[in-house]
Amino acid sequence: MLYFILTIDGDWNQYFETGLALAERAPRMKAMRKMIGYEIKIAHQLLAGRFIHFIHTSPVARDFFLRPEFIAQWKKIEANSGNVGVHCHEDDPGRAYYYADEDKMRESISFLAYGLRKNGITPSSFRGGFMTFSPKTIAILEQNGIYLDLSCDPGRYAKDGELVVSDWRNAPDNFYRMSYADHRIRGDSSVFEIPLGIYIDRDSLFKIAKDAKKLKSKPGEVVVSVLTHSYEFSSWLKRLKIKLALLILKKYGKFINAYEALEVIHSTPE
């Protein structure tokens, strides 16, 4: 059986425009709330509310998404059978990436996880900005009661100049229990990896259908993520593509939320 989890990274375009002044890279309340509103609406219409919104935190916007206006949206997502996750952009794009800095990652993850729980919201999962991850992060996730990671893009080896940004070479293309020693191999931690299976932003609808058909042919239980971003919801044309992609994927597999994914994983022999 093939299972999909729609995941939406809560980023906005200006964050990545590093030539702008810091204040100009910050998110805008009205624009972000509107885009998130579209996420909730489309997930409700097509997926019975099931998706994960990964809440952005970074030096540019450390606590912006803990404001009451957004807390109301996170609660609505959870009430509609969706989930929220922690999305840490601990980076200075083009200059530095801190995903392997244990202290910075602990501070960032714990800050957002605590802020959400204090407001009655339970973070279900984690994804590193730019699909970054370090095995040092596994224990931090466990300490924060987060047992799903969705940072894996199997085979990805991304560099920014001489800086290695993300390394998922030889990682499995189906869910697995992560190793404390190496995040790309199976191990005995309490954190499970759910790899990327479909990337809506990057691929054509034809390729999305082709990749879904290939995933469908794999034996046993298969759980993968489907990725898009909040900024994709700012355009009606891109929203149309997202809707069409989801309709295509529903022909090949079933969309589930984070807790349903854990049920599938725990019921499958390792």
What is the per-residue pLDDT across 229-250, written as a single tens digit (0 to 9) for each? Answer: 999 999 999 999 999 999 999 9
For position 248, what pLDDT does the model report? 98
**Residue 246: which region, alpha, beta or left (left: phi > 0; alpha: psi -120 to 50)?**
alpha
Identify the burial level of 128 via C-beta atoms within 10 angstroms of its C-beta, where 0-12 means exposed, 13-18 middle and 19 or more buried. Answer: buried
This model's pTM is above 0.85 = yes
For position 22, what pLDDT does the model report? 84
For position 189, what pLDDT does the model report? 98
For position 23, what pLDDT does the model report? 86
For position 270, what pLDDT does the model report? 80
Domain limits for position 216: 2-266
**Residue 219 vs residues 155, 213, 215, 227: alpha-carbon distances, Å:** 21, 12, 9, 23
CATH of the domain at 125: 3.20.20.370
For position 94, what pLDDT does the model report? 86
Give the chain's domain count.
1
For position 115, what pLDDT does the model report? 98
Residues of the chain below pLDDT 50:
none
End-to-end, the C-alpha distance of the chain in Å comes to 16
